[in-house]
Amino acid sequence: MLTNKILESSLLLFICFLRSGRADTAIVVEVSDDDESKDSVVVEDVPQYGYPTTPWLPYYFFSPMMQPQYSASGITSLSRNWGTVFVPFTSCTSPNKETGICEESGACIRLGGRASGSCANGRVCCINIVTNTCDETDRKVITVDNTYWQSPTTGITSFVSSCGITVKLDAKLPEQGKAVCQVRLNFVLFTIAQPDAESVCITDTFDVAGASNRVPTICGDNEGQHMYLNVPSSSTSPTDLQFSFNFGTNSNPVRAWNILISMIPCDSANLAPMDCLQYFTGRTGTVKSFNWRDVTGTATRQLANQDYSICFRTAPGFAKTLCVTPCTVTSTQKPFSLSLARSVQPQVGQRIDVSQFLSTNCNNDFLVIPGAYNTGNPPIETDMTFDRFCGERLNALPGKGVSTTVCTATATPFRLLYRTNSDETLTATIDTAGPNAVPIAGNRGFCLNFRNQ
d(CA 345, CA 186): 45
Tell me, yes or no, whether 23 lies in a domain. no
225 and 356 together in one domain: no
Res 251: pLDDT: 62
Task: Give, for 13, the enclosing helix (H) or strand (E).
Answer: helix 2-21
226 and 303 together in one domain: no
Tell me, yes or no, whether 415 lies in a domain. yes
Tell me, yes or no, whether 153 lies in a domain. yes
**What DSSP designation does 164 have?**
E
231 and 294 together in one domain: no
Q: CB under 8 Å, gap of 24 or more: what pairs does 119-126 form?
A: 119/90, 119/92, 121/24, 121/26, 123/87, 125/92, 125/93, 125/94, 125/100, 125/101, 126/100, 126/101, 126/102
d(CA 162, CA 154): 15
Provide the whole-model pTM.
0.81
Res 67: pLDDT: 32
101 and 244 together in one domain: yes
Res 242: pLDDT: 96
Q: Which residues of the chain have pLDDT under 70?
A: 1-87, 137, 250-253, 318-319, 347, 377-386, 436-437
Which of 124, 171, 144, 122 has the alpha carbon at shortest distance from 24? 122
**Angle of CA points 358, 356, 403, to nearest 5°:** 145
288 and 391 together in one domain: yes
Cα 39 to Cα 111, 129, 279, distances in angstroms: 27, 20, 9
312 and 369 together in one domain: yes
Tell me, yes or no, whether 290 lies in a domain. yes
Q: Which of 271, 294, 311 is the last residue of a domain?
A: 271
- CATH no. for residue 47? 2.60.120.290
- Strand 307-312 and strand 276-280: the pairing is parallel
Tell me, yes or no, whether 342 lies in a domain. yes
Q: Cite the beta strand spans of 152-283 per DSSP E.
A: 162-169, 180-191, 205-209, 226-230, 239-246, 256-265, 276-280
Q: Which of 271, 294, 327 is the last residue of a domain?
A: 271
**Angle of CA points 206, 208, 211, to nearest 5°:** 160
d(CA 100, CA 77): 18
Taking residue 67's Cβ as centre, other Cβ atoms within 10 Å add up to 11
182 and 262 together in one domain: yes
Q: Which of 239, 271, 303 is the last residue of a domain?
A: 271
End-to-end Cα, the chain, rounded Å: 80
> By the 8 A CB rule, do 131 and 45 touch?
no
DSSP string for residues in 69-125: EE-TTS-EEE-SSS---EEEEEEEE-TTS-EEEEE-HHHHHHHT-EEEEE-GGG-EE
Tell me, yes or no, whether 2 lies in a domain. no
Tell me, yes or no, whether 13 lies in a domain. no
Cα dihedral sign, 223-226-231-233: positive
The one-letter code for the residue type at 391 is G
Tell me, yes or no, whether 343 lies in a domain. yes
237 and 315 together in one domain: no
37 and 167 together in one domain: yes
Res 172: pLDDT: 94
Question: What are 355-405's pLDDT values in tens digits?
Answer: 998 877 898 999 999 988 888 766 556 556 568 999 999 999 889 999 999
Task: Give, for 21, the enclosing helix (H) or strand (E).
Answer: helix 2-21
**Residues 6+ away with beta carbon under 8 Å from 448:** 286, 287, 288, 324, 325, 326, 327, 335, 336, 394
Which of 295, 328, 325 has the alpha carbon at shortest distance from 394? 325
215 and 340 together in one domain: no
Q: In total, how many domains does the chain have?
A: 2
Q: Give me the domain span that covers residue 90.
A: 28-271
3-state secondary structure of 205: strand
180 and 307 together in one domain: no
d(CA 217, CA 408): 29
Cα 339 to Cα 299, 407, 434, distances in angstroms: 14, 21, 10
Cα 319 to Cα 312, 333, 405, distances in angstroms: 14, 33, 17
Largest CA distance in the chain: 114
> By the 8 A CB rule, do 399 and 355 touch?
yes
- Residue positions counted in the chain: 453
228 and 101 together in one domain: yes
Res 22: pLDDT: 33
